[in-house]
Structure 1
Amino acid sequence: MKLLVLGVLAAAFTAQAVGALLPHVPLLLAATAGSLAAEAVLYRWQRGMVSLFAKSHADVTVRHVLRDLLLVVGLLRLGEQHRETVYAPLVAALLAFYGLHWAIQAVSVLVRHTRTLPVVTRNIDASALRLSPAPPLLLRRPGHRLAAFGLPATAGLLATAAADAPVYGAAGLALSLAMALAGLGALLLRLLPERRPAGEQEVLDWFDAWLAEYRPTVGLYFSGGASSAYQANMWLEPLARLEGRPVIVLRERFMVQRIAATDIPVVCLPKVSTLMRLEHSTLRVLLHPSNSGKTSQVLRIPTIKHAFVNHGESDKLSSCNPYAKAYDEVWVAGPAARERYALAEVGVEDKDVVEIGRPQLEAVRPYAGPPAPGAFTTVLYAPTWEGWDGHPGNTSVVEAGENLVRALLADPRVRLLYKPHPLTGSVDPRAGAADLRIRELVRAANRERGGPRPGVSAAGELTRRTTELDRLTAAGFRSAADQAERMLRRPAPEPGRAGAVTRAAAAWEEAYWASLPEWEHQVITDARPPLYACFNRADLLISDVSSVISDFLASGKPYAVANTSGLAEDGFRKSFPTVAAATVLTPDAAGVPDLLDAVRHPERDDLSEARAALALRLLGPAEPPSQERFAGAVRALCAAAGEHRARMAERLATDLALPGPRQQPDPLPAGSHGGPPAGA
């Protein structure tokens, strides 16, 4: 399809050039119409090619100018020489239209600059910043604007070429000019002082006032790519259940929309100078679910204590990264992680390791027995991604994935839930290709299996629950909304919304599973249903060495790990303690039938006691609950931060009270608000 669109566009422009130079009116008209049709197909069904054309310096503006230029050449070559005088005003009007188009683009850049605030927020009343709805999307996207505003001019020139009547071209150009002038005027009005949002300093003053009024105590700090938002989202619920006044601190503007539904105030501080304003706030503790290049910037704030909570624990090297020693404390689930850091010798002292459990796992329901006789055995295959180091044992997708899926699909009493990691294929193309083949295997198995489907009422219930959940978790933004408009539409949430979202999410999950046939295998890639909801439906997990198996242990259900490391089973178990209570599967998936038999007949499951012991080592004790231990760790670190501030204030007061000349500290760099210099 992509090659077809590309071929049609190239052929259309070539034919248009031939028709203009001959001149040949029918060919010119047909080629221009074909070019416009190809543009419509391009924007409707082949969006990926739009960026490809842009990278090749053949974006929509260039194509539109070329199309109109060839039309003008064709008009000027039609008939006698005196026609040039007749068509000259049309050419001048067309040039004026393009001049207006570029003027609109310049003004739209200025408008966008005034609407790009130094702080982006969610769940905070920002009405004091004089925010307003964004300009229409058509006025902010030059390609769409030129195509829409220029269409009457192009159509008029086509009619002029067909009928040899300049009046059609004049009418089309007049309409295009009127639309362009109206768009330019609408944008210029937004540059008036009373129509602009608050300026940078005014926004910063407003943010400082909000910090002073809200008085945050603990925050979640996150920076990362679009696909990594799940790492922060898994900590939203535990954070929301803390006492005090939590806040979420982000660094990338796009991430504001990636954070899942929450009532916690969200602030995005893209610039380091703005981030440093937190130094003088009441914020005492920041929790870090991941490491990123920008983490070092916030660690410079001396008044805040920092705890690394990670987004999951496994036996992989990423779970004991040397970067962890940069934090004041490292919070882990259980004693196994403490031992992991000690053995890794990465500079994390044992006194700085705090065991808090995994508060997220309260959503995981415990083992309730094997599947009922005659019922399907639900198997969750949730492999991890290939990682950055290229180790073949990171993911089973490449070497074992297809074999595992074929072995599972061969059992008529198995229902497979395939949930690949969101980053699968992002480093190794082989993993992405294997993932696509696995999905096709699942689709083919569903076509062969077949069976009755839930009635219309089940689908209707899912639609109703989806609408309700979307209403509570999304603000219903129009496609043209920008960040400033979203700030305006997302004030402080109403009391009780968090509970309503929890109930709506639970109702949606029930409706989701009820809407699916019990016999049908599923490929689950959307954010809904979440991983823990899949845990609750599964009788068995098959995964890789990753945090998925650590979390699954909270259920007490059987699990298996695919060994694609090249190690013998004994060495594999010794190298990865999380595999101690697992059934180890070889890449050929030969052990799948025996594994399924043990799941269906618990008396043949000789690993149940080992799973309970491993869960205690990995996740810590069940009492006190993990949320209580998490809250206790937050209180203790907040207290330590308060004591540190008190000591620093006492030292400062003592220094100021000493008589005599004192050496003045070096002045801070412009825009700094304290903390050690960059690179310290």
Structure 2
Amino acid sequence: MHVPLPHRWFTAGLPHRQAALRVLVATTLLAATAAQAAGALLPSAPLLLGATAASLAVEGALYRWQPGLLSMLAKAHADITVRHVLRDLLLVVGLLQLAGQGGEPRYAWLVVGLLAFYALHCAIQAVSVLVRRTRTLPVVTRNIDASALRLTRAPATLLRHPGRRLLLLGLPATAGLAATAVTRTSLPAVAGIALSLVLAAAGLGALLLRLLPSRRPAGEQEVIDWFDAWLEDYRPTVGLYFSGGASSAYQANMWLETMSRLEGRPVIILRERFMVAKIAATDIPVVCLPKVATLMRLEQSSLRVLIHPSNSGKTSQVLRIPTIKHAFVNHGESDKLSSCNPYAKAYDEVWVAGPEARERYARAEVGVEDKDVVEIGRPQLDAVHPYAGPPTGPYTTVLYAPTWEGWDGNPGNTSVLAAGENLVRALLADPGVRLLYKPHPLTGSVDPRAGAADQRIRELIRAANRERSAGSARPTRSVAELDRLTAELDRLTAAGVRPDADQVERMLAQSAPPSGRAEAVSRVTAAWEEAYWASLPEGEHQIVIDVRPALYACFDVADLLISDVSSVISDFLASGKPYAVANTGGLSEEAFRAEFPTVAAATVLTPDAGGVPALLESVRHPEKDELADARAELKLRLLGPDEPTAQERCNAALHALSTTALHHRTRMSSIPQEALLPSPRQNPDTDPGTGTGAEAGADTGARGGQG
């Protein structure tokens, strides 16, 4: 408990207030432990009792408000078990000291009771590991009836929270020992330890019952057989394949509505178990296949096309299935290299928004052939509101949505570092501006300086709000409506799942979504967004970092976008509204526009933000806007025509690729299996009689990669 914790170690990357709170909590816990030790050694019953109570209160605060500090303490080998044993040990030492002064009998037998309790705690932990293993299924699903797998609710505290479990089960013993230190009678300690023993034994028994064959979920092979039967019954035709980190779920979520409107029977295929809970509300069946062996069972399914919104290491595994055609759609298009990554040539087709992306792949020379590029537009943008004229109210709403710093260290990736604070100061200096600041979720994940700059920008906005919002209040009626809609959305999207439910319990709770839930979520979300903007005090600046409101909702209320070279620009062009791009890479404006075609219709801002006043003037007075025609032309190049709609073009691309997949599968099924394998006595490169076999071998190469 007394291992030193360097200040910078457990406050790195935190805002000043959070860092100060973390230091305060850690210091209070350390002081309480020191005071308890002093109370035990002096001995002083009041000090011992007060310090114990303070220590328990801090423990509760840790679990409620400072989970990050819990992790830091565990890394310092001062986890909950060590802290709890130390707390009880100091109480026993105090009792022995007090007994020596007052002539009371020794309390050594209390140690035996405590040892028995901690032995039960260790047994519970061991059995909980076994129970968790029985509840770790090879397939995790949502929106699929999995009742045949004998799914049950999880005893969450017993299974997943050993620290909280020890704190709760050991509380009677700790409280009894503290009471005995004051009363000098052994009854409270005996009663407290006995109660803790009973609770621990009951918890152990409850977990042991979970190991009975009749109480376990289905075994691995039974789940696999059930999954095969579901594939045969549902017969999916198109899937969204996604793998990524915890903060990347938005890349898949932006394609959910498009998937729901595709022709055929869609399915969402994930690889990470935690991602199942991060996929937004949808009626589409969701399947998580963590193991490659389970993933490969898709080869025998009716699945024809997989759509990929991102690249990941695990993408290569599913590309080895020869019966499925793969289309890369990306989660956004920009002029950055990541939008024309050489990995794209591994897919059968690359679906892009418009002609500019096709030309971008040609210029990049990354191995993607022009015949494999299909223009489908951006179906997500069909609902973005078009430009309706200059701002009519007292405020011009400016959306500042910078991207993150990226992996390559290019200073031009994000404006947050070099220009963010200047841009925000210039915008806040205009009394007629309402600022919406929506940073990229990954800001600061690579370069801590970007995270620090992001926090400084937020402080500037909060300070401006304190000055502007003095005396203003949120409209009561709108707030009440927002609260009602928030509760309704939470009810629709949570689907009755407890926050600490494990995967098996989530499968049980989300087996079958209510009919029409997705439509209800869409309808309530639209109403929520309207109520959200109405509930804000007029002119109040906003820091938008939560899931709601979404980026496209910010598009609809913004009069102007300021961003970096990113897919945000391409998407915003669907609105036809003015936009500006920060040039922080050290290029001249001419070189900047030449290198990044998406900047062609933008106002280019320098890091000092000197052009902000003129930019705002052109937004408020359209006759001064010289880029309107350029934006319309660029929109056509980036996003393609308005008719047919992007959704219709996406469906056409899917139909064409599905037909190709079906023809390929038919051809392969008509070829004898032995013909797909090269003869051990023939060399396909030199034997003149193996021309046909060499062509078949090309397909075998993909199949053989399943290895």
Give the structure-1-normalised TM-score: 0.94
Kept in 1: contact 2:177–2:189 (CA 8 A): yes
| Cα drift, residue 123 of structure 1 | 0.5
Q: Which moved more, 1:13-22 or 1:141-150?
A: 13-22
Q: Given the alignment of the two structures, is residue 502 of structure 1 paired with residue 522 of structure 2, yes or no?
A: yes
**Distance across 2 between alignment mates of 1:522 and 1:643:** 53
Q: Which residue of 1 aligns with 2:541?
A: 521
Q: Given the alignment of the two structures, is residue 359 of structure 1 paired with residue 410 of structure 2, yes or no?
A: no
**Distance across 1 between alignment mates of 2:79 and 2:371:** 58
Q: 1:18 to 1:446 in 2, by over 3 A?
A: closer
**Distance across 2 between alignment mates of 1:344 and 1:68:** 66
- 1:635-654 residue pairs with structure 2 within 5 A? 635-652=655-672
Q: Given the alignment of the two structures, is residue 439 of structure 1 paired with residue 458 of structure 2, yes or no?
A: yes
Q: 1:232 aligns with which of 241, 246, 252?
A: 252
**Distance across 2 between alignment mates of 1:241 and 1:607:** 35
Q: What secondary structure sits across from 1:319 in the alignment?
A: helix
State the identity %: 74
**Distance across 1 between alignment mates of 2:679 and 2:75:** 66
- 1:163-562 residue pairs with structure 2 within 5 A? 163-372=183-392, 374-450=393-469, 452-562=472-582
**Distance across 1 between alignment mates of 2:99 and 2:537:** 70
- 1:616-635 residue pairs with structure 2 within 5 A? 616-635=636-655
Q: 1:157 to 1:414 in 2, by over 3 A?
A: same
Code of the aligned partner of 1:420: P
1:74-110 deviation per Cα after TM superposition (whole angstroms, max 9, x unaligned): 3334445998975233221111111111111111111
**Distance across 1 between alignment mates of 2:202 and 2:614:** 73
Q: Given the alignment of the two structures, is residue 59 of structure 1 paired with residue 109 of structure 2, yes or no?
A: no
| Cα drift, residue 28 of structure 1 | 3.2
| Cα drift, residue 11 of structure 1 | 3.0
Q: What secondary structure sits across from 1:492 in the alignment?
A: coil
Q: 1:45 to 1:179 in 2, by over 3 A?
A: same
Kept in 2: contact 1:86–1:166 (CA 8 A): no
Q: Which moved more, 1:648-657 or 1:421-430?
A: 648-657
Code of the aligned partner of 1:640: T
**Distance across 1 between alignment mates of 2:622 and 2:46:** 78
Kept in 1: contact 2:237–2:266 (CA 8 A): yes
**Distance across 2 between alignment mates of 1:423 and 1:524:** 14
Q: Which moved more, 1:313-322 or 1:651-660?
A: 651-660
Code of the aligned partner of 2:671: R
- 1:572-611 residue pairs with structure 2 within 5 A? 572-611=592-631
Give the number of aligned pairs: 670
Kept in 2: contact 1:334–1:355 (CA 8 A): yes
| Cα drift, residue 159 of structure 1 | 2.2
Q: 1:4 to 1:367 in 2, by over 3 A?
A: closer
Kept in 2: contact 1:139–1:183 (CA 8 A): no
Q: Which residue of 2 aligns with 1:667?
A: none
1:444-488 deviation per Cα after TM superposition (whole angstroms, max 9, x unaligned): 222222364453211111112222222222213223311111111
**Distance across 2 between alignment mates of 1:216 and 1:508:** 33
1:563-582 deviation per Cα after TM superposition (whole angstroms, max 9, x unaligned): 10100100000010100010
**Distance across 2 between alignment mates of 1:474 and 1:167:** 47
Code of the aligned partner of 2:170: G
Q: CA RMSD in A?
A: 2.4
Code of the aligned partner of 1:395: T
**Distance across 1 between alignment mates of 2:258 and 2:23:** 50
**Distance across 2 between alignment mates of 1:95 and 1:196:** 31
Code of the aligned partner of 1:406: R
Q: Which moved more, 1:6-15 or 1:317-326?
A: 6-15
**Distance across 1 between alignment mates of 2:453 and 2:487:** 34
Code of the aligned partner of 1:419: K
Q: Which moved more, 1:152-161 or 1:170-179?
A: 152-161
| Cα drift, residue 42 of structure 1 | 2.5
1:616-673 deviation per Cα after TM superposition (whole angstroms, max 9, x unaligned): 111111121111110111111111111111111111268499999999xxxxxxxxxx
Kept in 2: contact 1:223–1:252 (CA 8 A): yes
Q: What secondary structure sits across from 1:506 in the alignment?
A: helix
Q: 1:580 to 1:218 in 2, by over 3 A?
A: same
Q: Which residue of 2 aligns with 1:75?
A: 95
Kept in 2: contact 1:135–1:480 (CA 8 A): no
Kept in 1: contact 2:350–2:374 (CA 8 A): yes
Code of the aligned partner of 2:492: L
Q: Which residue of 2 aligns with 1:670?
A: none
Q: What secondary structure sits across from 1:385 in the alignment?
A: coil
**Distance across 1 between alignment mates of 2:254 and 2:658:** 22
Q: 1:346 to 1:34 in 2, by over 3 A?
A: same
Q: Which residue of 2 aligns with 1:666?
A: none
Code of the aligned partner of 1:547: S
Q: Which moved more, 1:321-330 or 1:455-464?
A: 455-464
**Distance across 2 between alignment mates of 1:98 and 1:660:** 64
**Distance across 2 between alignment mates of 1:656 and 1:259:** 40
Code of the aligned partner of 1:206: W
Q: What secondary structure sits across from 1:133 in the alignment?
A: coil
Kept in 1: contact 2:156–2:502 (CA 8 A): no
Q: 1:654 to 1:97 in 2, by over 3 A?
A: closer
Q: What secondary structure sits across from 1:92 in the alignment?
A: helix
Q: What secondary structure sits across from 1:104 in the alignment?
A: helix
| Cα drift, residue 251 of structure 1 | 0.5
Q: What secondary structure sits across from 2:495 in the alignment?
A: coil
Kept in 2: contact 1:100–1:180 (CA 8 A): yes
Q: 1:280 to 1:506 in 2, by over 3 A?
A: same
Q: 2:63 aligns with which of 37, 43, 63?
A: 43
Q: What secondary structure sits across from 1:564 in the alignment?
A: coil
Q: 1:34 to 1:653 in 2, by over 3 A?
A: closer
Code of the aligned partner of 1:649: S
